Amino acid sequence: MTSQTCTCQCGQTQFTVSGQPKLRMLCHCTICQQFNQAPFADVVVFKTAQVSVPDKSSIDFKTYKPPPNVNRGVCQHCQQPVIEFFDMPLMPKLTMVPAAMFAVQQSLPKPSAHMFYEKRLTDADDQLPKKQGFLRSQLAFFKYLWFGH
């Protein structure tokens, strides 16, 4: 994947990502369930520098849990989740984009794992690793981020 435009359902929120994503994950935590209004989040993770968001004024941002490590944004028009910014001291700045925002799904990497699987609303019928608990899920996230599969 070199460069791709990400677009929400209504087309009002658009931005461009470039380069290879760091990873793709499926998160079952209750915050992701609430934010995505779905049983889990399917997000593609990029370094923030790889994401060009020209107009943040069409996005409503909210932080669900302090400290504000993840700032989550929905399109003001269709209320679809469109972007999440991860900004924690001493950590790389990351941007998470819902997989549904990509028109060319086949260019996306396969998910690495299910995170916070103990919070799942439905069982997943796949061979992906299923990480349970806060510490195991967080450690797996950073392992996949830095080392890949």
Report pLDDT for 70. 87
Q: Which residue has the higher pLDDT, 93 or 66?
A: 93
Record the pTM: 0.90
Residues with Cβ within 8 Å of 132's Cβ and at least 6 positions away in sequence, in order, are: 116, 117, 118
Q: Which residue has the higher pLDDT, 114 or 67?
A: 114
Please give the domain boundaries of the chain with CATH numbers for all domains.
Answer: 3-147 (3.90.1590.10)
Report pLDDT for 1. 59
Report pLDDT for 53. 83
Report pLDDT for 39. 96
Report pLDDT for 68. 61
